[in-house]
């Protein structure tokens, strides 16, 4: 079985949306629901933001997909944190801890989201994506990688610790939608 990592393309917008929502455990869906309005489609709103809004951290230009044979199995969204970047605005309050942690690592290449579809988990694909992120960071002249993870995501924490990541910051998480969320997030 072949593993390929490639940049996301326009036709991948819904995969990028699904994967960033999977990585964020539904936090994005709450935002998209508000953007769609009462008569709109959450998926259409998500797709439009992924394609058109370069101000969102998960814009298509920042996404890579991992394919198992020819099937999309997961993805990575990230990019270099510019020292002049401010914490993005225009997001609901419950995004504040996440956005603060993501913007903390000036000069680092931030992994905004990494997710593997459930049926492909346990095959080392997240590790492959992180190796790709590390190579991309090096090529961009980044000081290293940074990422944000919920304290309740023990599988991800274990992977990141095995790769040498260390906690540098922690923020209390805010509840959103019908989900209370984790206690905190760290990077």
Q: Average pLDDT in the 114-134 region?
A: 95
pLDDT at 93: 73
CA distances from 45 to 51, 61, 74, 116, 128 (A): 10, 17, 21, 22, 30
Residues 6+ apart with CB under 8 A from 41: none
pLDDT at 53: 67
Structural domains present in the chain:
3-186 (3.40.630.30)
d(CA 58, CA 20): 7
- The C-alpha atoms of residue 165 and residue 83 are separated, in whole angstroms, by 21
Residue 148: CB partners within 8 Å, gap ≥ 6? 98, 101, 102, 110, 111, 185, 186, 187
pLDDT at 184 over 60: no
Query: Are 69 and 2 within 8 A, CB to CB?
Result: yes
pLDDT higher than 70, residue 151: yes
How many Å apart are CA 45 and CA 51, to the nearest integer? 10
The model's pTM: 0.83
- pLDDT interval class at 118 (50, 70, 90): very high
């Amino acid at each position: 079985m072949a593993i390929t990592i490639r940049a996301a393309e326009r036709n991948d917008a819904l995969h990028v949306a699904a994967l960033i929502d999977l990585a964020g455990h539904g936090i994005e869906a709450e935002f998209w629901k508000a953007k769609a309005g009462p008569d709109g489609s959450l998926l259409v709103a998500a797709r439009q933001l992924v394609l058109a809004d370069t101000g969102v951290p998960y814009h298509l230009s920042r996404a890579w997909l991992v394919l198992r044979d020819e099937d999309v199995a997961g993805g990575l969204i990230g990019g270099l944190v510019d020292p002049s970047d401010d914490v993005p605005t225009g997001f609901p309050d419950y995004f504040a801890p996440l956005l603060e942690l993501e913007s903390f690592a000036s000069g680092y290449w931030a992994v905004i989201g990494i997710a593997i579809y459930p049926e492909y988990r346990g095959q080392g694909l997240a590790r492959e994506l992180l190796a790709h992120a590390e190579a991309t960071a090096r090529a961009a002249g980044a000081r290293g990688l940074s990422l944000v993870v919920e304290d309740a995501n023990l599988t991800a924490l274990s992977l990141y610790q095995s790769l040498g990541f260390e906690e540098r910051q922690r923020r209390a998480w805010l509840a959103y939608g019908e989900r209370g969320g984790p206690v905190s997030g760290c990077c």
